[in-house]
Amino acid sequence: MLKPQENSYADISLNIHLTDLNSGEQAAHTEQPVFTWRVGADQNSGIRRKHRPNEDTIFVIQGNRISPTVVPQPFVLLGVADGMGGSGHGRDASRLAACSLADYVFGSLCYNQRPVDDLLPLLIAAVQHANRIIYEHNRQQGMTMGTTITLVLIIETTAYVVHVGDSRCYLQRESLGLTQVTHDHSFVATLVANGIITPDAIYTHPRRNLIYRSLGDQIAVDVDTLILPLAPDDKLLLCSDGLWEMVRDPQISAILKDPLSDPSETACKLIQAALESGGDDNVSAIVVQVSDGSIAATDLSQTVGV
């Protein structure tokens, strides 16, 4: 049985310089409920693509705070990018997106002192920045590489979600079950929305891999956004299509609901399920578990990875 690759997402460093993370100053008092979250992530090249470059890039960046005045609370930035372009160019596109997104977000928060209520526009601007970098690279090199991006920033009790492509963000909540909170920018999703095919048909449709929105295609890109209030016991899943095309929603939900698995084990089980179902594509998963309680300090230097 093929096993997931442990910690395979932590293979390149990000050029991020955050201030005040360990300054010892007290964070601003807030009347908001205090949540904790635990994060686990895993990925695998897949069975059919194990001898080719893995075009998925995932990243998890956590910290105590950005500064005493800008995001004084603990935070986590999560992203899944699924590159395309062949000959390793898809891998380059997804890694370029991850690094430029993280640099832009934390550069803006640290040095430009962007207010917290400006977070969603900031994330949109970060995606546009990454898109322009890939677009200009394509134009100058005569290439056609691109990538999806599903990016989530969690601060206090809120998840800020921005999204392009067909990677997904799911919410698992006891009262709702499993909910896909992002919309696939794909040909088959459009067919489903127009009643031309059934939702189950997307898994076998011959054009299921065709997406109409990605980073690097045009000089600007439309970005879907969502502000998602979180509740205790919520779980978030960010994943590439290599997971959700191989593992149907009921099985994803059952794995996420397992009370005996921590987020790292859950991510590993999701990857294993995709491999056991065929492993046709690169597969990536990030799992976030939200809990009530005091937030423990996190050393950012130990949690930065792509």
- Other C-beta atoms closer than 10 Å to the C-beta of 7 total 12
Q: Which domains does the chain have, with CATH numbers?
A: 35-302 (3.60.40.10)
Q: Do 186 and 259 form a contact (C-beta atoms < 8 A)? A: no
Q: Do 41 and 134 form a contact (C-beta atoms < 8 A)? A: no
Q: Do 215 and 130 form a contact (C-beta atoms < 8 A)? A: yes
d(CA 68, CA 218): 38
d(CA 166, CA 169): 10
Q: Which residues pair with 270 in a beta bridge?
A: none
Give the largest CA-CA distance in the chain: 58
Q: Provide the residue-wise pLDDT of the chain in tens; the chain has 306 residues.
A: 334 443 333 333 333 333 333 333 333 334 556 788 999 999 999 998 877 889 999 999 998 887 777 777 889 999 999 999 876 799 999 999 999 999 999 888 877 666 667 799 999 999 999 999 999 999 999 999 999 999 999 998 999 999 999 999 999 999 999 999 999 999 999 999 999 999 999 988 989 889 999 999 999 999 999 999 999 999 999 999 999 999 999 999 999 999 989 999 999 999 999 999 999 899 999 999 999 864 443 333 333 334
